[in-house]
Each structure stands twice: as C-alpha cells, then as structure tokens.
Structure 1
Amino acid sequence: MKNNITFLALIAALGGFLFGYDTAIISGTISLVKAQFELSTSMEGWYVSSALVGTILGVSIAGILSDKYGRKNILVTSGIFFALSAIGCTISGTFTELVLYRLLGGVGVGIASMLSPLYISEIAPAKNRGRLVALYQLAIASGVLVAYFVNSYLLSLSTSNGFEESSEMVRKIYVSEVWRAMLGSEIIPAVIFLLLLLIIPKSPRWLIMNGETTKAKKILLRFTDAEEADNEIQNVEEVLSKRSVKIKELFSGSFKIALLIGISLAILSQLSGINAIIYFGPKILEEGGLQLGEALGGKSLLVL
C-alpha cells in the first residue's frame, strides 16, 4: 500500500518535473531565437518572461477550476497545455506565435505548481504526507537538470552529420533551427504525464467536498485500513463544516510561525536570483568566452 501511494505521488510530481523542464529548456534557445528573429534586448526579455505571465494566469485559475472540476481533471488540462505548447513552439512561424505558445505553456506551469503538491497532500496519509509532497520539489530540480542535458545533446546533434539525408523539415528542426527541437522536446514528458494521469484516482478530499463520501472511502481503502479511512473522512468533514476565516486570522495562533516561515522561504528563494541563473546561465557563460555547446555542458555540470 505504501508503494502504491508513492507511485501516485511520483505521477503527480511529474507536474513539477514539467515545471522545471519548461523553465530551464528556454535557456539554450535564447541566443538562437534572438538571432533568428533579430530581437531587441526588450523583446529578448519578453521572450524569456512570457511563460511567467502565463504562470500567473494559471495560478490564478487553478484553485477555482480544481474545486469545480476536480484536481485530476485540471492536472490533465495542464498536461495538455504543456503538450500543445511544445508542439506549437516547434512549428511557430513568427515570433508572436512562439510567444503565444510559451504563454500557453506558462499556464500549464501555473496550474501544475498549485495542483501537483495539492493532489499529493490530499491523497497521502498524514504520516507520509510531508515526505511525499517533498517529491514535487525534487521533481522540479530534476526537470531543470534534465533540460540542460537535453539542450546540450540536441545542440551537439545539430552539428553532426546524421541528418544529411533527412527531409527539409527534419533538418530545419534539428539542424538549422535546433531551438525548435529544444522547445519541442517537452512533448515527451508531457505525453508521459498525461498517460499516467489516466490511472490515478480522484482526490478523496475533493470527492468528500462534493458529497461523494462512498467513492472517497473506496479510494482511501486502497492505501489504508478502514479505521484510518474513516478517521480521514471525519477529519475532512470537520474541517469543511467550520466557518470561513479572515486572512488576518491565518497569522495568529498555532499556524502563525509556520506560515511566516513558508512565506519567507518563498520570497527568499526568488530574491536569491536563482531564476536568472536558470534562464541566463548559458548566456552568461557564452559572454564569458565559451561556445553555446560548452556553456550548456558547463551549466549542466554546475547544476550537478
């Protein structure tokens, strides 16, 4: 039963892998896209940050949609957005199209960043919840790392002689405009994520919220005994029956310190400048005198 829960958590955590992958894969494409579309510095910044605008939108709607349609269904939607973004970036004919597809991918990132850890926390027993939710953070870091290696591999592949007899379209994607292959490579983890989501159950907490307690108990019994399942259902029902609270009440009582620590960590992680390194690390190394291929390889080793 423990292994089943871990497996479900790993599937949900793939949303975090896609988050990290989508965030980092762009790093190898910046100089290539800038040269092809003759971007100004401001347009280059818009290309890099466009996905973040989509992320804001995704985060804004994820809670509302998941409460109405379920965590699983909206996670599937995020996977579809990831896949469509990857395909769209591969075939984009103009810079505007490319940005629009990056925005779409950003929406998927925003949704996954909220619902993947939420789903894990709602499916996992209390005694394993913290450890399993942590898989999401591990998945983000893994996605970032894999993206650098993929970029490095595709760039080296583009300089090989393996596509001499390929069609013009294939040579365009993998040789002359290899950034298309880099951005399009996300289709592989996106499809895997979508297929695996088909086998996970709905969130028991969401089912209880919508009056489907019998279905929720059946799911809980797959991972725990009847007594623990009943306790979990009772706890959820008690929480749902309590009155709503004002935001200021969250910063009082026993949750005050934990909430302040959580908010501080989120703020400090952004102020640390890690996003600038993820996005522009290869470019910084390029401007330091390395070739793009060396920069991507060096960045991968730095992450390790």
Structure 2
Amino acid sequence: MSDTSTSSKQSGNIGFIVLICLVATLGGFLFGFDSGVINGTVKGLDAAFNAENFASGLNVASMLLGCAVGAFFAGKLSDQYGRRNMMMIAAVFFIISAWGSGIAGSSGSFIIFRIFGGLAVGAASVMAPAYISEIAPAHLRGGLASIQQIAIVVGLTAAFFSNYYLAGASGGATEIFNGHETWRWMFWVELAPAFLFLILLFFIPKSPRYLMVKGDEPGALASMTRLFGSDVAANKINEIKASLASDHKPRLSDLLKTSGGGLRPIVWVGIGLAVFQQLVGINVIFYYGAVMWEAAGFTEADALKQNVFMGVMSIFATLITLFLIDRFGRKPFLLIGSIGMSIMLAIVAYAFSSGELVNDALVLSDNMGRTALYAAMAYVFFFNMTWGPVMWVLLGEMFPNQIRGSALAVAGFAQWMANFLVTLSFPVMLGSIGLAASFGIYAAFAFLSIFFVIKGVSETKGMELEDMQG
C-alpha cells in the first residue's frame, strides 16, 4: 500500500500532465507535417520554378538550414526566455511559413518562407522534448517523451494523406484546384494546426525547472504543485534547488571540459545520436518517397499511397515504444533499431541493384519491386520504433540541468545539418550513382551505429533529471 501510494504521488496529476504533453507535441505534429508535405509537392515545385537535380534538392533541403539555426538558438534562448515562450514563437513561424510557401512566386521566395518553417521546426524539435522531460515524472518520462515522435509521424502521415487526397481530387500536384495549383493547397492545409498550437500554448504552465533557474521559486512551486500536488512539489523544488545550488546561469561554455579543452563527452554522445539518426537516410524516404518510388517504376498515385501506408505503420511502431521504453530502457531499443535498419537497408539496396534502366527510368521485376517496398517499410518500422523516438527521449533527459538547453542546441544543430546534407545530396546521388549505391551507403551508416550505441550510450531509464551527470 505504501509503495502504491508513493508511486501515485510521484506520478502526480497524470491526466493533466498528459494533456500538457499533447499540447507541447503539437509542435512535433507540425514538425512532421512541415517535413512531410514537401514529399508530394516536389513535382509541382519543379514545374513551377523550372528546377531539377541540385535546384530541386535545394527547394526541399532549404527548410533544413532554418532547422539547424532554429535548433541551435532555441536551446540558448529557451534558457533565457523559457521553453513555452519559444514554442509560441515557433508557432508564429509555422503560420508564416505555411502561408508564404503556398503563395511563393519564385524559387527564391519559396526558399525564404521554407527557412521560416525550418526555424520553427528546429525550435520545436528541441523545445518539446526539453519541456516534456522537465514536467514528466521520471518513471513515465520515456513514454511521455515518446509522444513527441508519435506526433511527428502523425504529422507526416497527415501530410501524406492530405497530399494524396488533394492530388487525387485535382489530378496531380501540378493541376489547378480551386483556382490555384494543387501543391500550393498542400502547404496551406498546415495553417489550421499551426493556429491551434499557438492558441493552446497559452494554457500550459511554464517549466518549473526553468523557473528555478531564473530564480522564480514561488512560480516554480506553483507550477510544480499543479503537476504533482503540494506534498510532492516541495520535495521536488528542494531537489532542483540542491542541483542548482553550486551552479551559475547556463552558458555555452558549460559544454566544454573543465580541463584539457574540447566538448564534454556527454555532448559528443548527444551529437553522435543526432547525426547517426540522419545518416541512416530516413528522411530520403520521408522527403523524396514519391520521387523514389516513381524512379523505381511506380505511378505517382501509387507512390503517394505508399507514403500513406508508411505513415500509418510509423504511428503503430512508435506506439510500441511508448508502452515499452520505460520497461526495457533506451539502449536496447537503439541496438534493435541499428541491427534491423542495417539489414533492411541492405535488402533495399540489393533489390534496386537488380533493376534495369529503360528510357532513363529504373525498372524492377515484380518480385524485386515488392522486395524493395516491403524492406523499405520494415526499415521505416524499425526506425520509428527505435531511433526515431529514442534519440529525442535521450536528448531531452541525458544532459545535466545546467547544460540541458545549450547541449540540446548543439545536438539539434548537428542533427539538422546532417539532415540537410543527406537531403541535398540525394537527388545528386540518384542522378549519378543510383538508388542501389545510395541505399548501400545508408546501410553502412546504420551498421556503424551499432558500435556507437554499444560503446557510447549509457542507460537513463528511471533516473531523475537532477541525477544526470555530464
């Protein structure tokens, strides 16, 4: 009875906490939607702006430059102005980007508005995990933080479905729908969830750990009381106070070793997690899925349909993580993902290598076409069950309180720069070395990530944030 009572108190007002997490992860939904919507618009953009190869890749990848900048500065600015306030600014940028991308009349103006969206995505990508980790009870933190990845894949799936529906209703991304090209409507759909995100953010509390860093103990106690009740709140405030007692205000220099120079090892681990998550090539599927499957011989309608199936499957995969990550831990999930992804990517590469070029288009046999498709689906499943959510869970919780915002900024910047390079390079690789060699490279990085996890990643399951060591 005593253990049950203590656990219940530590869990706090779980219904309220879950609602707060859902609001915060609307940023993740928009992150996913903004990332996935480009998938179905590439053909329309190429036609509207006469873009091909590198120029086409720049239209797609331009958002990621904004993501890198947004992630880097959001971490630092959130230490100064708060996690919630930075998410509000991100919501405004999502609105600007969704509207502007749809009205763009040139590749230049389109890229500018996509960079605004990138700033929002980058900020949301690091702020939501940080905010959730700072309000969630330790024994539920992994599952609640995994909601961020569920929101991302739900956003991706919503974008894929919206693109599929609009393309079906109009006849294609380049066709006119209600007075405008269909690809423009694909961007404008995002306005509804972006406004909803902005409105709901006004109703969630500020992070109590942020308030303690800013010296607002009464505000932190009030926020913690709303989350956990008065009995637990006072103890938690004292724990945070003790962890901050000998510290100073957060700064980027805290990421450096106290002697010998260079980044602290924990920061390098965060950077490694962030970069490997992208080097396995997942966003090639998310950003270029329609282009890739058309290059492999599928029709535009079938290619868009594959995206919807993969999105739904991604949601299911992430739900598995939501329910099991706090039972089995973070590291086992990463290892399973690395092994599974390396095998499936190798199979995809092999299937594509069997094709023949006919009129500059890759043609696969029926068996190899199905093999490539099923292996790619299994790869996406492994990613979204493991590296997709677990990387964000770890980045949100693995750093000590003092450096969390700054370390997230650096890791987030590295993640989005790797994303940018992979995304920008794919059209060039597709036109030069082909699909098989491209996926062979992604398979090699997935294989290398196995050793990174074994050697570099420590388990954080069940640990309080105040106990994290750098």
TM-score, normalised relative to structure 2: 0.58
Which residue does 2:28 correspond to in 1?
16
Return closer, same or farther for 1:246/1:150 CA change in 2, 3 Å cut-off: closer
**Aligned partner (choices 168, 191, 196) of residue 195 of structure 2:** 191
Partner AA of 1:247 in structure 2 = L
Identity of aligned residues (%): 38
Partner AA of 1:237 in structure 2 = K
Is 2:277 the partner of 1:269? yes
Is 2:115 the partner of 1:103? yes
The 2-side partners of 1:67 and 1:246 are apart by 14
Partner AA of 1:51 in structure 2 = M
Note the alpha carbon deviations across 1:36-66, whole angstroms, 9 max, x for none: 2111321101101000000011012102221
Moved more, 264-273 or 56-65: 264-273
The 2-side partners of 1:103 and 1:112 are apart by 14
Question: Secondary structure of the equivalent of 2:21?
Answer: helix
Moved more, 232-241 or 144-153: 232-241
Return the offset for 1:231.
1.7
Please show how residues 1-304 of structure 1 align to structure 2 within 5 Å.
Answer: 1-159=13-171, 171-173=178-180, 177-243=181-247, 247-248=256-257, 263-303=271-311, 304=313
The 2-side partners of 1:240 and 1:157 are apart by 57
The 1-side partners of 2:273 and 2:76 are apart by 25
The 2-side partners of 1:66 and 1:264 are apart by 23
Gaps of 5+ in 1: 250-254
The 2-side partners of 1:204 and 1:91 are apart by 41
The 1-side partners of 2:255 and 2:76 are apart by 18
The 1-side partners of 2:117 and 2:37 are apart by 12
Return the offset for 1:264.
4.4
Number of residues paired by the alignment?
289
Which residue does 2:389 correspond to in 1?
none
The 2-side partners of 1:105 and 1:233 are apart by 36
Gaps of 5+ in 2: 1-12, 249-253, 259-263, 314-470
The 2-side partners of 1:35 and 1:41 are apart by 13
TM-score, normalised relative to structure 1: 0.88
Note the alpha carbon deviations across 1:172-209, whole angstroms, 9 max, x for none: 33xxx111011121112111111111111111111111
Return the offset for 1:86.
0.3
The 2-side partners of 1:147 and 1:24 are apart by 6
The 2-side partners of 1:60 and 1:110 are apart by 8
The 2-side partners of 1:49 and 1:260 are apart by 25
Question: Secondary structure of the equivalent of 1:222?
Answer: helix
Question: Secondary structure of the equivalent of 1:223?
Answer: helix
Return closer, same or farther for 1:246/1:55 CA change in 2, 3 Å cut-off: closer
Moved more, 77-86 or 209-218: 209-218
Question: Secondary structure of the equivalent of 2:77?
Answer: helix
Question: Secondary structure of the equivalent of 2:105?
Answer: coil
The 2-side partners of 1:208 and 1:265 are apart by 29
Which residue does 1:252 correspond to in 2?
none
The 2-side partners of 1:71 and 1:11 are apart by 13
Partner AA of 2:212 in structure 1 = I
